[in-house]
Structure 1
Protein backbone atom coordinates (compact mmCIF):
# COMPACT_ATOMS: atom_id res chain seq x y z
CA UNK A 1 0.00 0.00 0.00
CA UNK A 2 1.14 3.55 -0.73
CA UNK A 3 -0.11 6.00 1.86
CA UNK A 4 -0.31 9.62 0.71
CA UNK A 5 -1.67 13.00 1.72
CA UNK A 6 -3.51 14.95 -0.95
CA UNK A 7 -5.85 17.84 -1.58
CA UNK A 8 -8.35 18.77 -4.25
CA UNK A 9 -9.91 22.12 -5.02
CA UNK A 10 -11.15 22.33 -1.43
CA UNK A 11 -7.51 22.65 -0.31
CA UNK A 12 -8.23 20.43 2.72
CA UNK A 13 -5.42 17.89 3.09
CA UNK A 14 -6.70 14.34 3.34
CA UNK A 15 -5.18 10.87 3.73
CA UNK A 16 -5.42 8.44 0.86
CA UNK A 17 -4.14 5.27 -0.76
CA UNK A 18 -2.36 5.67 -4.10
CA UNK A 19 -3.04 3.04 -6.77
CA UNK A 20 -0.31 3.13 -9.40
CA UNK A 21 -2.15 0.80 -11.75
CA UNK A 22 -5.05 3.20 -12.19
CA UNK A 23 -3.28 6.49 -11.30
CA UNK A 24 -5.94 7.16 -8.72
CA UNK A 25 -6.34 7.79 -4.99
CA UNK A 26 -8.82 6.29 -2.51
CA UNK A 27 -9.89 8.96 -0.01
CA UNK A 28 -9.48 7.54 3.51
CA UNK A 29 -11.62 10.21 5.15
CA UNK A 30 -14.56 7.96 4.16
CA UNK A 31 -13.04 5.39 6.53
CA UNK A 32 -12.93 7.85 9.42
CA UNK A 33 -9.31 9.01 9.17
CA UNK A 34 -8.49 12.70 9.48
CA UNK A 35 -4.83 12.41 8.51
CA UNK A 36 -2.11 9.89 7.73
CA UNK A 37 -0.83 9.89 11.32
CA UNK A 38 -4.21 8.48 12.32
CA UNK A 39 -3.85 5.74 9.73
CA UNK A 40 -0.35 4.84 10.95
CA UNK A 41 -1.43 4.84 14.59
CA UNK A 42 -4.26 2.36 14.04
CA UNK A 43 -3.06 -1.23 13.87
CA UNK A 44 -6.00 -2.47 11.79
CA UNK A 45 -7.28 -0.47 8.82
CA UNK A 46 -10.76 -1.06 7.54
CA UNK A 47 -11.32 0.88 4.33
CA UNK A 48 -14.64 1.90 2.90
CA UNK A 49 -14.56 1.55 -0.87
CA UNK A 50 -15.47 4.84 -2.49
CA UNK A 51 -15.04 6.40 -5.88
CA UNK A 52 -11.36 6.87 -6.56
CA UNK A 53 -10.07 10.29 -7.51
CA UNK A 54 -7.88 10.55 -10.63
CA UNK A 55 -4.32 11.48 -9.71
CA UNK A 56 -4.28 14.35 -12.19
CA UNK A 57 -7.13 16.00 -10.26
CA UNK A 58 -5.27 16.22 -6.93
CA UNK A 59 -2.19 17.76 -5.42
CA UNK A 60 0.04 15.31 -3.54
CA UNK A 61 1.60 16.63 -0.33
CA UNK A 62 4.19 15.23 2.07
CA UNK A 63 2.73 11.90 3.19
CA UNK A 64 3.16 12.74 6.89
CA UNK A 65 3.15 16.41 7.84
CA UNK A 66 2.87 15.98 11.61
CA UNK A 67 5.23 13.24 12.79
CA UNK A 68 5.92 13.27 16.54
CA UNK A 69 9.66 13.44 15.77
CA UNK A 70 12.09 13.22 12.89
CA UNK A 71 15.26 11.40 13.95
CA UNK A 72 18.15 11.73 11.50
CA UNK A 73 21.29 9.60 11.46
CA UNK A 74 24.61 11.13 10.53
CA UNK A 75 27.65 9.54 8.86
CA UNK A 76 25.78 6.28 8.30
CA UNK A 77 27.45 5.36 4.99
CA UNK A 78 31.15 4.59 5.29
CA UNK A 79 32.19 6.51 2.18
CA UNK A 80 30.17 9.56 3.25
CA UNK A 81 31.95 9.63 6.61
CA UNK A 82 35.27 9.52 4.76
CA UNK A 83 34.36 12.32 2.33
CA UNK A 84 33.26 14.45 5.31
CA UNK A 85 36.66 13.95 6.92
CA UNK A 86 35.18 12.13 9.91
CA UNK A 87 35.65 8.76 11.57
CA UNK A 88 33.16 5.99 10.89
CA UNK A 89 30.98 6.08 14.01
CA UNK A 90 30.82 3.20 16.49
CA UNK A 91 27.52 4.51 17.91
CA UNK A 92 24.72 6.06 15.82
CA UNK A 93 25.10 9.81 15.37
CA UNK A 94 21.63 11.22 15.99
CA UNK A 95 20.24 14.70 15.38
CA UNK A 96 16.75 16.03 14.69
CA UNK A 97 14.85 17.77 11.95
CA UNK A 98 11.74 19.75 12.86
CA UNK A 99 8.33 19.04 11.30
CA UNK A 100 8.16 22.72 10.28
CA UNK A 101 10.86 21.90 7.69
CA UNK A 102 8.67 19.33 5.90
CA UNK A 103 7.53 19.93 2.32
CA UNK A 104 6.07 17.57 -0.25
CA UNK A 105 6.92 16.63 -3.84
CA UNK A 106 7.04 19.54 -6.23
CA UNK A 107 7.30 22.16 -3.50
CA UNK A 108 10.33 24.45 -3.68
CA UNK A 109 13.39 24.15 -1.46
CA UNK A 110 13.99 27.75 -0.35
CA UNK A 111 17.64 28.64 0.12
CA UNK A 112 17.88 30.91 3.18
CA UNK A 113 19.57 34.27 2.84
CA UNK A 114 21.68 33.59 5.97
CA UNK A 115 23.46 30.56 4.52
CA UNK A 116 25.87 30.36 1.61
CA UNK A 117 26.47 26.60 1.73
CA UNK A 118 23.15 24.78 1.19
CA UNK A 119 23.67 21.07 0.49
CA UNK A 120 21.59 18.08 -0.63
CA UNK A 121 21.41 14.64 0.99
CA UNK A 122 19.44 11.70 -0.43
CA UNK A 123 18.12 9.55 2.42
CA UNK A 124 16.10 6.39 2.94
CA UNK A 125 13.70 6.72 5.88
CA UNK A 126 11.47 4.39 7.84
CA UNK A 127 8.30 5.24 9.73
CA UNK A 128 7.39 3.72 13.08
CA UNK A 129 4.00 2.02 13.30
CA UNK A 130 3.88 0.28 16.66
CA UNK A 131 5.74 2.26 19.28
CA UNK A 132 7.77 0.86 22.13
CA UNK A 133 10.53 1.27 24.67
CA UNK A 134 13.73 -0.78 24.68
CA UNK A 135 12.81 -2.76 21.59
CA UNK A 136 15.06 -5.70 20.76
CA UNK A 137 16.79 -5.50 17.39
CA UNK A 138 15.31 -8.88 16.45
CA UNK A 139 11.79 -7.43 16.79
CA UNK A 140 12.32 -4.51 14.40
CA UNK A 141 9.82 -5.69 11.79
CA UNK A 142 7.01 -5.51 14.36
CA UNK A 143 7.57 -1.76 14.69
CA UNK A 144 8.13 -0.51 11.13
CA UNK A 145 5.02 0.77 9.36
CA UNK A 146 6.69 1.64 6.10
CA UNK A 147 9.37 3.50 4.16
CA UNK A 148 9.73 6.83 2.42
CA UNK A 149 12.23 9.26 0.89
CA UNK A 150 13.82 12.26 2.62
CA UNK A 151 16.12 14.93 1.23
CA UNK A 152 18.07 16.05 4.30
CA UNK A 153 18.85 19.56 3.04
CA UNK A 154 21.59 21.08 5.18
CA UNK A 155 23.19 24.51 5.65
CA UNK A 156 26.82 23.45 6.03
CA UNK A 157 28.11 26.82 7.25
CA UNK A 158 25.52 26.76 10.04
CA UNK A 159 26.20 23.09 10.72
CA UNK A 160 29.91 23.49 11.33
CA UNK A 161 29.64 26.73 13.30
CA UNK A 162 28.56 24.57 16.24
CA UNK A 163 28.93 21.05 17.61
CA UNK A 164 25.14 20.63 17.32
CA UNK A 165 23.83 19.86 13.84
CA UNK A 166 20.07 20.11 14.21
CA UNK A 167 19.62 23.84 13.61
CA UNK A 168 21.40 23.61 10.25
CA UNK A 169 18.82 21.04 9.14
CA UNK A 170 15.67 22.87 10.23
CA UNK A 171 15.22 25.87 7.96
CA UNK A 172 11.74 25.94 6.39
CA UNK A 173 11.58 23.55 3.39
CA UNK A 174 14.75 21.67 4.44
CA UNK A 175 12.90 18.35 4.76
CA UNK A 176 11.39 17.31 1.42
CA UNK A 177 9.47 14.10 2.14
CA UNK A 178 7.52 11.60 0.04
CA UNK A 179 5.90 11.14 -2.33
CA UNK A 180 4.33 8.24 -0.37
CA UNK A 181 4.89 5.98 2.60
CA UNK A 182 5.20 2.50 1.14
CA UNK A 183 4.05 -0.05 3.71
CA UNK A 184 6.60 -2.56 4.96
CA UNK A 185 4.89 -5.54 3.33
CA UNK A 186 5.71 -4.07 -0.10
CA UNK A 187 9.49 -4.05 0.50
CA UNK A 188 10.96 -7.50 1.05
CA UNK A 189 14.45 -6.27 2.01
CA UNK A 190 14.90 -2.60 2.93
CA UNK A 191 18.65 -3.17 3.11
CA UNK A 192 19.02 -3.88 -0.61
CA UNK A 193 17.58 -0.77 -2.29
CA UNK A 194 19.33 1.44 -4.82
CA UNK A 195 19.39 5.10 -3.78
CA UNK A 196 20.40 8.05 -5.94
CA UNK A 197 20.18 11.82 -6.26
CA UNK A 198 20.40 13.92 -9.38
CA UNK A 199 20.30 17.63 -10.08
CA UNK A 200 18.96 18.66 -13.47
CA UNK A 201 19.60 15.11 -14.69
CA UNK A 202 23.21 14.88 -13.46
CA UNK A 203 23.62 12.00 -11.00
CA UNK A 204 25.59 13.12 -7.95
CA UNK A 205 24.81 10.35 -5.46
CA UNK A 206 24.37 6.65 -6.13
CA UNK A 207 24.59 3.81 -3.63
CA UNK A 208 22.56 1.03 -2.02
CA UNK A 209 21.07 0.72 1.46
CA UNK A 210 23.18 -2.41 2.01
CA UNK A 211 26.03 0.06 2.65
CA UNK A 212 24.42 1.48 5.80
CA UNK A 213 26.70 1.30 8.84
CA UNK A 214 23.78 0.96 11.26
CA UNK A 215 20.79 -0.78 9.72
CA UNK A 216 17.17 -0.59 10.84
CA UNK A 217 17.35 -3.23 13.62
CA UNK A 218 20.30 -1.53 15.30
CA UNK A 219 18.76 1.93 14.94
CA UNK A 220 15.46 0.87 16.45
CA UNK A 221 17.19 -0.88 19.35
CA UNK A 222 19.48 2.10 20.01
CA UNK A 223 16.87 4.86 19.75
CA UNK A 224 14.29 2.99 21.81
CA UNK A 225 16.86 2.27 24.52
CA UNK A 226 16.86 6.00 25.25
CA UNK A 227 13.37 7.24 24.34
CA UNK A 228 10.13 5.34 23.65
CA UNK A 229 9.42 5.32 19.92
CA UNK A 230 5.99 6.62 18.93
CA UNK A 231 3.68 5.81 16.02
CA UNK A 232 4.56 8.17 13.20
CA UNK A 233 8.15 8.81 14.24
CA UNK A 234 10.35 9.14 11.15
CA UNK A 235 13.92 7.87 11.16
CA UNK A 236 16.02 9.12 8.24
CA UNK A 237 18.93 6.73 7.95
CA UNK A 238 21.70 8.91 6.53
CA UNK A 239 23.10 9.84 3.14
CA UNK A 240 25.54 8.09 0.81
CA UNK A 241 28.66 9.76 -0.64
CA UNK A 242 28.48 12.45 -3.28
CA UNK A 243 27.13 15.39 -1.29
CA UNK A 244 28.28 18.90 -2.16
CA UNK A 245 30.40 19.14 0.99
CA UNK A 246 32.54 16.19 -0.10
CA UNK A 247 33.25 17.41 -3.63
CA UNK A 248 36.29 19.30 -4.90
CA UNK A 249 35.37 22.00 -5.55
CA UNK A 250 32.43 21.96 -3.16
CA UNK A 251 29.05 22.02 -4.87
CA UNK A 252 26.17 23.89 -3.23
CA UNK A 253 22.52 24.05 -4.23
CA UNK A 254 21.64 26.96 -6.49
CA UNK A 255 18.36 28.69 -7.36
CA UNK A 256 16.82 27.39 -10.57
CA UNK A 257 17.98 23.80 -10.08
CA UNK A 258 15.74 20.76 -9.69
CA UNK A 259 16.68 17.98 -7.28
CA UNK A 260 15.39 14.40 -7.58
CA UNK A 261 15.94 11.62 -5.06
CA UNK A 262 15.07 8.12 -6.26
CA UNK A 263 14.92 4.97 -4.13
CA UNK A 264 14.13 1.55 -5.51
CA UNK A 265 10.56 0.54 -4.68
CA UNK A 266 9.68 3.96 -3.23
CA UNK A 267 9.64 6.15 -6.33
CA UNK A 268 11.12 9.60 -6.84
CA UNK A 269 10.94 12.84 -4.88
CA UNK A 270 11.50 15.95 -6.99
CA UNK A 271 11.77 19.54 -5.76
CA UNK A 272 12.80 22.79 -7.47
CA UNK A 273 15.25 25.14 -5.73
CA UNK A 274 14.58 28.86 -5.24
CA UNK A 275 16.22 31.70 -3.34
CA UNK A 276 14.59 33.27 -0.31
CA UNK A 277 13.13 36.61 -1.24
CA UNK A 278 14.94 39.52 0.37
CA UNK A 279 12.77 42.23 1.91
CA UNK A 280 12.07 44.98 -0.55
CA UNK A 281 12.87 42.87 -3.60
Structure 2
Protein backbone atom coordinates (compact mmCIF):
# COMPACT_ATOMS: atom_id res chain seq x y z
CA UNK A 1 0.00 0.00 0.00
CA UNK A 2 1.18 3.48 -0.88
CA UNK A 3 -0.69 6.27 0.88
CA UNK A 4 -0.30 9.88 -0.23
CA UNK A 5 -1.97 13.28 0.02
CA UNK A 6 -3.52 14.95 -3.00
CA UNK A 7 -5.57 18.17 -3.01
CA UNK A 8 -5.97 17.95 0.75
CA UNK A 9 -7.28 14.38 0.70
CA UNK A 10 -5.74 11.05 1.57
CA UNK A 11 -5.37 8.72 -1.41
CA UNK A 12 -3.99 5.29 -2.19
CA UNK A 13 -1.67 5.27 -5.18
CA UNK A 14 -2.38 2.30 -7.46
CA UNK A 15 -1.28 1.32 -10.95
CA UNK A 16 -4.48 2.98 -12.18
CA UNK A 17 -4.08 6.29 -10.40
CA UNK A 18 -5.08 7.88 -7.08
CA UNK A 19 -8.00 6.36 -5.16
CA UNK A 20 -9.54 8.41 -2.36
CA UNK A 21 -9.69 6.52 0.92
CA UNK A 22 -13.09 6.26 2.63
CA UNK A 23 -14.03 9.38 4.57
CA UNK A 24 -14.00 7.47 7.86
CA UNK A 25 -10.19 7.17 7.62
CA UNK A 26 -9.55 10.84 6.89
CA UNK A 27 -7.46 12.35 9.67
CA UNK A 28 -6.96 8.93 11.27
CA UNK A 29 -4.81 7.17 8.70
CA UNK A 30 -1.98 6.19 11.05
CA UNK A 31 -4.31 5.35 13.95
CA UNK A 32 -6.23 2.93 11.72
CA UNK A 33 -3.41 1.72 9.51
CA UNK A 34 -4.22 -1.98 9.73
CA UNK A 35 -7.85 -1.37 8.70
CA UNK A 36 -6.67 0.85 5.86
CA UNK A 37 -4.28 -1.88 4.76
CA UNK A 38 -7.19 -4.32 4.55
CA UNK A 39 -9.26 -1.83 2.54
CA UNK A 40 -6.39 -1.22 0.12
CA UNK A 41 -6.36 -4.84 -1.02
CA UNK A 42 -9.42 -4.10 -3.16
CA UNK A 43 -8.57 -0.50 -4.13
CA UNK A 44 -8.38 -0.33 -7.91
CA UNK A 45 -8.64 2.26 -10.64
CA UNK A 46 -8.39 5.84 -9.55
CA UNK A 47 -7.90 9.17 -11.25
CA UNK A 48 -4.73 10.34 -12.98
CA UNK A 49 -2.46 12.61 -10.96
CA UNK A 50 0.80 14.48 -11.39
CA UNK A 51 3.68 13.76 -9.03
CA UNK A 52 4.09 17.52 -8.65
CA UNK A 53 0.63 17.72 -7.04
CA UNK A 54 1.43 15.35 -4.17
CA UNK A 55 1.57 16.87 -0.68
CA UNK A 56 3.42 15.70 2.46
CA UNK A 57 1.93 12.26 3.20
CA UNK A 58 1.96 13.07 6.95
CA UNK A 59 0.86 16.73 7.06
CA UNK A 60 1.02 17.40 10.82
CA UNK A 61 2.97 14.88 12.91
CA UNK A 62 3.10 15.51 16.62
CA UNK A 63 6.79 14.60 16.91
CA UNK A 64 9.66 14.59 14.42
CA UNK A 65 12.87 12.95 15.58
CA UNK A 66 16.13 13.09 13.63
CA UNK A 67 19.45 11.33 14.08
CA UNK A 68 22.92 12.75 13.49
CA UNK A 69 26.04 10.81 12.45
CA UNK A 70 24.32 7.47 11.78
CA UNK A 71 26.52 6.33 8.87
CA UNK A 72 30.21 5.68 9.50
CA UNK A 73 31.53 7.43 6.33
CA UNK A 74 29.50 10.54 7.21
CA UNK A 75 30.82 10.42 10.78
CA UNK A 76 34.36 10.30 9.39
CA UNK A 77 33.82 13.14 6.91
CA UNK A 78 32.35 15.26 9.73
CA UNK A 79 35.48 14.70 11.80
CA UNK A 80 33.90 12.78 14.69
CA UNK A 81 34.29 9.38 16.30
CA UNK A 82 31.53 6.81 16.12
CA UNK A 83 28.81 7.67 18.67
CA UNK A 84 28.09 5.21 21.45
CA UNK A 85 24.36 5.98 21.38
CA UNK A 86 22.08 7.68 18.83
CA UNK A 87 22.55 11.46 18.64
CA UNK A 88 19.02 12.84 18.50
CA UNK A 89 17.62 16.26 17.62
CA UNK A 90 14.23 17.47 16.41
CA UNK A 91 12.79 19.12 13.36
CA UNK A 92 9.64 21.17 13.83
CA UNK A 93 6.50 20.12 11.91
CA UNK A 94 6.10 23.43 10.05
CA UNK A 95 9.23 22.57 8.06
CA UNK A 96 7.45 19.79 6.16
CA UNK A 97 6.81 20.07 2.45
CA UNK A 98 5.82 17.72 -0.33
CA UNK A 99 7.95 15.58 -2.63
CA UNK A 100 7.92 17.97 -5.62
CA UNK A 101 8.13 21.60 -4.49
CA UNK A 102 10.29 24.69 -4.80
CA UNK A 103 11.99 25.52 -1.51
CA UNK A 104 12.85 29.09 -0.52
CA UNK A 105 16.50 29.50 0.47
CA UNK A 106 17.05 31.65 3.59
CA UNK A 107 20.31 33.58 4.01
CA UNK A 108 23.24 31.31 4.72
CA UNK A 109 24.52 27.97 3.44
CA UNK A 110 21.76 25.44 2.75
CA UNK A 111 22.87 21.81 2.52
CA UNK A 112 21.24 18.52 1.53
CA UNK A 113 20.87 15.35 3.62
CA UNK A 114 19.00 12.42 2.07
CA UNK A 115 17.38 10.19 4.71
CA UNK A 116 15.09 7.21 5.07
CA UNK A 117 12.14 8.19 7.28
CA UNK A 118 10.40 5.65 9.50
CA UNK A 119 6.71 6.35 10.19
CA UNK A 120 5.23 5.29 13.52
CA UNK A 121 1.75 3.79 13.46
CA UNK A 122 1.36 2.34 16.94
CA UNK A 123 1.82 4.00 20.32
CA UNK A 124 4.98 2.64 21.88
CA UNK A 125 7.01 2.96 25.06
CA UNK A 126 10.09 1.04 26.22
CA UNK A 127 10.26 -1.14 23.11
CA UNK A 128 12.87 -3.94 23.16
CA UNK A 129 15.31 -3.78 20.26
CA UNK A 130 14.14 -7.15 18.94
CA UNK A 131 10.63 -5.67 18.58
CA UNK A 132 11.79 -2.33 17.22
CA UNK A 133 10.07 -2.74 13.85
CA UNK A 134 6.65 -3.36 15.41
CA UNK A 135 5.60 0.29 15.95
CA UNK A 136 6.75 1.20 12.41
CA UNK A 137 4.07 0.80 9.74
CA UNK A 138 5.57 2.61 6.76
CA UNK A 139 8.67 4.16 5.23
CA UNK A 140 9.09 7.28 3.15
CA UNK A 141 11.86 9.38 1.61
CA UNK A 142 13.07 12.49 3.44
CA UNK A 143 15.51 15.36 3.14
CA UNK A 144 16.91 16.96 6.27
CA UNK A 145 17.74 20.31 4.64
CA UNK A 146 20.06 22.33 6.87
CA UNK A 147 21.31 25.92 7.03
CA UNK A 148 24.86 25.31 8.21
CA UNK A 149 25.88 28.76 9.49
CA UNK A 150 23.14 28.92 12.13
CA UNK A 151 23.38 25.20 12.83
CA UNK A 152 27.07 25.32 13.72
CA UNK A 153 27.29 28.82 15.23
CA UNK A 154 26.74 27.88 18.87
CA UNK A 155 28.99 26.10 21.35
CA UNK A 156 27.65 23.47 21.52
CA UNK A 157 26.02 23.55 18.10
CA UNK A 158 22.24 23.97 17.97
CA UNK A 159 20.62 21.90 15.23
CA UNK A 160 16.85 22.14 15.39
CA UNK A 161 16.08 25.73 14.35
CA UNK A 162 18.54 25.76 11.44
CA UNK A 163 16.92 22.57 10.13
CA UNK A 164 13.33 23.78 10.45
CA UNK A 165 12.93 26.65 7.99
CA UNK A 166 9.77 26.33 5.87
CA UNK A 167 10.32 23.60 3.30
CA UNK A 168 13.33 22.10 5.11
CA UNK A 169 11.57 18.77 5.74
CA UNK A 170 10.52 17.33 2.37
CA UNK A 171 8.91 13.90 2.68
CA UNK A 172 7.18 11.60 0.23
CA UNK A 173 6.05 10.75 -2.29
CA UNK A 174 4.00 8.27 -0.24
CA UNK A 175 3.87 6.21 2.92
CA UNK A 176 4.95 2.76 1.76
CA UNK A 177 3.68 -0.11 3.91
CA UNK A 178 6.35 -2.52 5.06
CA UNK A 179 4.87 -5.42 3.10
CA UNK A 180 5.92 -3.57 -0.07
CA UNK A 181 9.53 -3.19 1.11
CA UNK A 182 10.91 -6.73 1.48
CA UNK A 183 14.49 -5.46 1.82
CA UNK A 184 13.63 -2.89 4.44
CA UNK A 185 16.92 -3.36 6.34
CA UNK A 186 19.16 -2.70 3.33
CA UNK A 187 17.80 -0.10 0.90
CA UNK A 188 19.81 1.86 -1.65
CA UNK A 189 19.97 5.64 -1.17
CA UNK A 190 20.96 8.00 -3.99
CA UNK A 191 20.98 11.81 -3.93
CA UNK A 192 21.69 13.74 -7.13
CA UNK A 193 22.35 17.45 -7.53
CA UNK A 194 21.82 18.69 -11.09
CA UNK A 195 22.36 15.14 -12.36
CA UNK A 196 25.54 14.50 -10.33
CA UNK A 197 25.45 11.79 -7.65
CA UNK A 198 26.45 13.45 -4.37
CA UNK A 199 25.33 10.77 -1.92
CA UNK A 200 25.14 7.01 -2.37
CA UNK A 201 24.96 4.31 0.30
CA UNK A 202 22.70 1.62 1.72
CA UNK A 203 20.62 1.74 4.88
CA UNK A 204 22.24 -1.53 5.94
CA UNK A 205 25.29 0.59 6.77
CA UNK A 206 23.53 2.54 9.52
CA UNK A 207 25.36 2.52 12.84
CA UNK A 208 22.01 2.33 14.63
CA UNK A 209 19.37 0.56 12.49
CA UNK A 210 15.70 1.44 12.74
CA UNK A 211 14.86 -1.13 15.49
CA UNK A 212 17.64 0.30 17.66
CA UNK A 213 16.45 3.87 17.04
CA UNK A 214 12.85 3.01 17.91
CA UNK A 215 13.93 1.22 21.06
CA UNK A 216 16.21 4.08 22.14
CA UNK A 217 13.68 6.85 21.51
CA UNK A 218 10.94 4.92 23.29
CA UNK A 219 13.08 4.85 26.44
CA UNK A 220 12.59 8.62 26.71
CA UNK A 221 9.40 9.46 24.82
CA UNK A 222 6.07 7.84 24.08
CA UNK A 223 6.02 7.31 20.34
CA UNK A 224 2.69 8.20 18.75
CA UNK A 225 0.97 7.31 15.47
CA UNK A 226 2.18 9.72 12.80
CA UNK A 227 5.54 10.44 14.41
CA UNK A 228 8.45 10.59 11.97
CA UNK A 229 12.03 9.41 12.52
CA UNK A 230 14.62 10.83 10.12
CA UNK A 231 17.22 8.09 10.42
CA UNK A 232 20.41 9.90 9.40
CA UNK A 233 22.25 10.76 6.21
CA UNK A 234 25.14 9.11 4.33
CA UNK A 235 28.42 10.78 3.41
CA UNK A 236 28.50 13.39 0.66
CA UNK A 237 26.93 16.49 2.21
CA UNK A 238 27.97 19.86 0.82
CA UNK A 239 29.68 21.40 3.84
CA UNK A 240 32.18 18.52 4.03
CA UNK A 241 33.29 18.82 0.39
CA UNK A 242 36.42 20.56 -0.81
CA UNK A 243 35.50 23.17 -1.89
CA UNK A 244 32.24 23.36 0.02
CA UNK A 245 29.09 23.27 -2.06
CA UNK A 246 25.65 24.52 -1.11
CA UNK A 247 22.24 24.77 -2.75
CA UNK A 248 21.64 27.71 -5.07
CA UNK A 249 18.62 29.02 -6.97
CA UNK A 250 17.46 26.78 -9.82
CA UNK A 251 19.36 23.73 -8.53
CA UNK A 252 17.47 20.45 -8.86
CA UNK A 253 17.86 17.97 -6.00
CA UNK A 254 16.73 14.39 -6.61
CA UNK A 255 16.30 12.12 -3.56
CA UNK A 256 15.77 8.43 -4.25
CA UNK A 257 15.46 5.33 -2.06
CA UNK A 258 15.00 1.97 -3.73
CA UNK A 259 11.56 0.46 -3.16
CA UNK A 260 10.33 3.59 -1.38
CA UNK A 261 10.26 6.39 -3.93
CA UNK A 262 11.79 9.53 -5.38
CA UNK A 263 11.48 13.26 -4.68
CA UNK A 264 12.54 16.22 -6.81
CA UNK A 265 13.04 19.75 -5.49
CA UNK A 266 14.11 23.08 -6.89
CA UNK A 267 15.21 26.16 -5.00
CA UNK A 268 14.85 29.93 -5.17
CA UNK A 269 16.18 32.91 -3.26
CA UNK A 270 13.53 35.24 -1.89
CA UNK A 271 13.97 38.95 -1.34
CA UNK A 272 13.42 40.01 2.32
TM range (shorter): over 0.9
1:230 corresponds in structure 2 to: 224
Alignment of 1:166-245 (within 5 A): 166-245=160-239
User: What is the count of residue pairs matched by the alignment?
Assistant: 266
Please tell me whether residue 4 in structure 1 is matched to residue 4 in structure 2. yes
* 1:157 counterpart (144, 149, 154): 149
The offset of 1:161, in angstroms, is 0.8
Tell me, in whole angstroms, the C-alpha distance in 2 between the residues paired with 1:57 and 1:267. Answer: 11
Match of 2:10 among 15, 25, 28: 15
**Residues 48-99 of structure 1: CA deviation (Å, up to 9, x unaligned):** 8686221249821111111111100000000101111112111100001111
Give the secondary structure class of the aligned counterpart of 2:133: helix
Matched with 2:97 is 103
Shift of 1:138: 1.1
What SS does the corresponding residue of 1:67 show, helix, strand or coil? coil
Range moving further from structure 2, 203-212 or 161-170: 161-170
Residue 25 of structure 1 and its aligned partner are, at CA, apart by: 0.7
Task: Choose the corresponding residue for 2:257, options 263, 273, 279.
Answer: 263
Give yes or no for contact 2:51–2:100 (8 Å, CA) kept in 1. Answer: no
How high is the TM-score relative to the length of structure 1? Answer: 0.91
Q: Which of 23, 41, 49 is residue 31 of structure 2 equivalent to?
A: 41
The SS at the match of 1:39 is coil
Bigger drift between 215-224 and 42-51 goes to 42-51
The answer to whether the 8 Å contact 2:53/2:100 transfers is: no
Other-structure match for 1:10: none
Partner of 1:73: 67
What is the CA distance between 1:32 and its match in structure 2?
A: 1.4
Q: CA deviation at 1:34?
A: 2.2
Structure 2 unaligned spans of 5+: none
Gaps of 5+ in 1: 8-12
